[in-house]
Structure 1
């Protein structure tokens, strides 16, 4: 039902192919606009274009636009049989463009499929842990309560990840920590504590015990007032560590039909689960910050091959042995080494930014790693000097549901689980 071609030629081939009733869409990449202008004078493609049976794109089409196509049926359903055909031998003279385009499409297809999950045992572990954690979720504040108490309470958010470049930003972050809301990846939590930097939110999106151990240690110098935001499929040990040290937390259900049936909308449905940085981005955006700044978001290896900040709990070479591929470097000049999951994370962040530039400005102040399209690249200190003026963090704690509502939801979950 879907075919892909490079080169429009004289158009006759596509006019004939589109007579096949089984062919729903034909995507043609053509960079010569003047050629199309001439062909459309000779052959009428109005109906095919109007019905999206014929889709014409240039080879430098944005990755976000291709991603939107590939996540839509029937394109999505037939990604495994994707092949880019040449209209004719003539188009081999454009081999550099064709190879570059095909590599871009292949990466986006890989990412799109990875979004669906790649391990049934992992999925079942997450669902099992969600069931186990659901009473804890109900007995703690909801995401909706967090929104009600904290929307528009701060203008600027800083999202802290644990890429190799984080080390050079910590002293600036410490100086300006009271002038912005700090969203911290679970992996960066212990690093910030070491430098006496207090985040406002610490997020966790993974379900493994190894990730849970990132919360094993508590830190009296920063913990008071932090809200730990976990997906409800997190490992139960993470919750135990938080409760043992009396740290505040909320649990957010991973979006699913089951969650909808249990009437858990108040507890949230924003997380993708693909990357903690994306979940932090979505939370910061939903809380209506006007500026969002990334630091430590390398999504690439450093020049010396390290994958994480030097103070990362599991070591700076934690992911250095994974098979590498290339990505455009921060600043747009040259390439850096990355791996397929980081590429997938980067594309998901880019796609979110692409859809939400109207109400917010996004800054990449990582000063290293891979370029994140759609962000404004600026040094971190410059971002702080231009965007952070006043101490604007006046937060109150979100409230838990009343007992009757808690009991209603718990019974509802129990009933749906039994069913």
Structure 2
């Protein structure tokens, strides 16, 4: 006869599987193939006490229930309401200098913050948890007790060792947990990873990709529950904590999006061709050049083998190449502001403008394309325009946030078999020497706008691992850019990536010393007599097609604004938790239903939505006086609702042109230096 405790556990496992099969089919497909390998579920047949044995080692001291309650007690004590947590600070008064459609609204809202409000990112926990991330499922008992003994709005469970989740099926009634969160209008997500290395980079990415869609709770109000305070899980948490500050800096906003739309419509209407979608460079070598300081010591490797490679210059790195007598085959650009035009038009080498192929993002200022005789545009994966104008297989992924990312992405897209990275340091050994000495950054003729951008970019310096294993200086933008390159490398396992830059370590690439690089370059296929860039030029889009798409985009934009605005009414200014509930509901609708319906079109609003949610949540929590908090939430609701109401008319006004229109002031004036021109 089966022991009743064991029989109960077996029945619970089957109940859980049946629930997952009917209500969580994705999770069911994953967990049905898991079984015990190195773990053993131990059930005391006399007392029913539970434990897990890892080999011969008990993990819960013979009583998993008691262990879980003790752990939860400690957590609730450490993170009780009123506890200080320090994360990402709210927007600051005067921080937004710009006066365009979106920015002036958010700026006015931030400036309405009551005097004396401390906005340094040091928050007092409210009497609920907006988002809790459980790293390590164990038997699920600590999760069950936290749900029963506290108010958690949104739960993410990340288990990098699925065998533990399999063990929990015998112990925890997952249907009850899901029902509890559903009944409260909240969320519970379970993510299982099968990476053989718990601390792998992949595990961090898997969890990160979930978290970035959980604003405003992430990055400002997310708490991590590290089960058993495991060192192996701590590394995942540390990696995410380091990245959350960069994440906020990467959000777009409407003013930038509408400027990019406008530029793109001009460029398409001019009949500029698209980048070819064919992979045509198998067996060939691309050398991609960034402006990092190590380029100075290794540029001779490129000079000596110039005719054997396709030379791709990224952004301002071209100034160093031109000074060394190197005219690139391809110049890649991605930035939509006039600084791009400013640095390219200053180059006096006519061979560059006449012979180099400009491969530019479709949203570049139109006058940038005008400089070059040979040019093509491409659609990056983060632009809403990609879904409107091209097939998905034509989209270029991993192109942001910097031009070096664009260079790697373009070379990967075109199918080069070997990619060698020069001057892509993503760091610097001396704080004042962050670029090649020949770059535009050290020019005596540097414009005020570029100098201002440099000062802002290099304001906060950090340390990262170098190719030699020691530490090297870097900045958040470089780190984000490097990680995007690493993701691009992971996505292209058939391409050989060589890091010829003496800077930060780039995962997935091999660092090679100068002599080895020369050997590889010397045996590269000689391309001297070939037309290297003509095959990259694809077809054009006609104006009627463009006009139809603009009408379609206006319709979709108006519909998205209307649907998202409806969630603001959920917010009760006397109960701040309703702001978080509305925020998560809005996010889920935007990233679920709207994205399923409209694809990348949601990017035209996503950044602005996130900025509004982040501003409302962080400032509201920072305000201590109840009446001032309620008054600010009302102002936030009015401002947010007003933006979503007025944006469609603004969108239509800007895009109702007979493209191309050379009289359009938006394509002639510097968007950074002349913000006043962008008032409504």
Q: For 1:364 and 1:100, locate their aligned partners in 2 and report how far apart those are by CA, in whole Å.
A: 26
Identify if the C-alpha distance between structure 1 residues 225 and 154 changes in structure 2 by more than 3 Å, giving closer, same or farther.
farther
In the other structure, the counterpart of 1:134 is: 268
Q: 1:388 to 1:408 in 2, by over 3 A?
A: farther
1:233 matches 2:348: no
Q: 1:325 to 1:58 in 2, by over 3 A?
A: farther
Q: Assess if the C-alpha contact under 8 Å between 2:134 and 2:143 holds in 1.
A: no
Does residue 82 of the first structure (1) align with residue 226 of the second (2)? no
For 1:260, the equivalent position in structure 2 comes to: 387
**Counterpart-to-counterpart distance in 1, 2:513 and 2:360:** 30
Instruction: Note if 1:249 corresponds to 2:375.
Output: yes
1:70 to 208, 213, 233: 208
Aligned residues: 392
Where structure 2 has 5 or more consecutive residues not aligned to the other structure, the ranges are 1-129, 176-187, 444-450, 553-654, 658-680
Q: In 2 relative to 1, CA 46–162 (structure 1 residues): closer, same or farther, beyond 3 Å?
A: farther
Please list every run of 5 or more consecutive structure 1 residues that lacks an aligned counterpart in the other structure: none
- Per the alignment, residue 199 of structure 1 pairs with 328
> Which of residues 259, 274, 277 is equivalent to 1:125?
259
1:169 Cα shift?
A: 1.4
- Is contact 1:233-1:254 (8 Å) kept? no
Larger CA Rg, structure 1 vs 2: 2
Q: SS of the residue aligned with 2:133?
A: strand
Residue 387 of structure 1: CA displacement? 4.8
2-structure distance, mates of 1:229, 1:76? 35
User: Secondary structure of the residue that 2:287 maps to in structure 1?
Assistant: strand
Contact (CA 8 Å) 2:426, 2:503: kept in 1 or not?
yes
Give matches, 1:10-89, under 5 Å. 12-17=141-146, 25-27=156-158, 40=167, 44=171, 53=190, 55=192, 61-72=199-210, 76-77=214-215, 78-80=217-219, 81-87=221-227
Structure-1 separation of matches of 2:318 and 2:379? 22
Instruction: Note the C-alpha offset of 1:168.
Output: 0.8
Mapped partners of 1:400, 1:10: distance in 2: 56
Match of 1:409 in 2: 545
SS of equivalent to 1:302: coil
1:131-280 to 2 correspondences below 5 Å: 131-136=265-270, 139-144=271-276, 147-148=277-278, 151-152=280-281, 155-216=284-345, 217-242=347-372, 247-255=373-381, 256-261=383-388, 263-265=389-391, 268-270=394-396, 272-280=399-407
Would the aligned equivalents of 2:378 and 2:395 in 1 still touch at CA under 8 Å?
Answer: yes
* Cα displacement (A) at 1:165: 0.8
1:2–1:74 CA contact under 8 A, matched in 2: no
Partner of 1:322: 459
SS at match of 1:121: helix
Q: State the Cα distance separating 1:323 from its structure 2 match.
A: 0.6
User: Is residue 308 of structure 1 aligned with residue 435 of structure 2?
Assistant: yes
Q: Partner of 1:364 in structure 2? A: 499
What per-residue deviation string (whole Å, max 9, x for no partner) do you get for residues 167-199 of structure 1? 111111111111111111121112111112132
| Counterpart selection for 2:419 from 292, 295, 298 | 292
Q: TM-score, normalised by structure 2?
A: 0.51
1:325/1:337 contact within 8 Å kept: yes
- The alpha-carbon deviation at position 283 of structure 1 amounts to 1.3
Provide the alpha-carbon RMSD of the alignment: 3.9
Q: 1:166 to 1:115 in 2, by over 3 A?
A: same
- 8 Å CA contact 2:265–2:546 kept in 1: the answer is no
Tell me the alpha carbon deviations over residues 282-310 of structure 1, each in whole angstroms, 9 at most, x when there is no partner.
Answer: 21112111111111011112235311111
CA pair 124-79 structure 1, distance change in 2 beyond 3 A: same
Aligned CA distance change for structure 1 residues 313 and 82 (closer, same or farther; 3 Å): same
* Residues 28/314 of structure 1: CA separation in 2 closer, same or farther (3 Å cut): same
The answer for the alignment partner of 2:677 in structure 1 is none
CA distance in 1, matches of 2:134, 2:189: 15
Query: Is 1:106 matched up with 2:241?
Result: yes
Cα distance change, pair 406–267 in 1 and its aligned pair in 2 (3 A): farther
2:262 match: secondary structure: helix
Contact 1:161 1:184 in 2 (8 A): yes
Structure with the bigger percentage of helix: 2
Instruction: Tell whether the 8 Å contact from 1:184 to 1:202 is kept in structure 2 after alignment.
Output: yes
Aligned counterparts of 1:75 and 1:210: Cα–Cα separation in 2: 31
Equivalent residues of 1:64, 1:351 under 8 A apart: no
Deviates more, 1:97-106 or 1:388-397: 97-106
Equivalent residue for 1:351, pick from 444, 462, 487 = 487
CA 267–68 in structure 1, closer or farther in 2 if over 3 Å, else same: closer
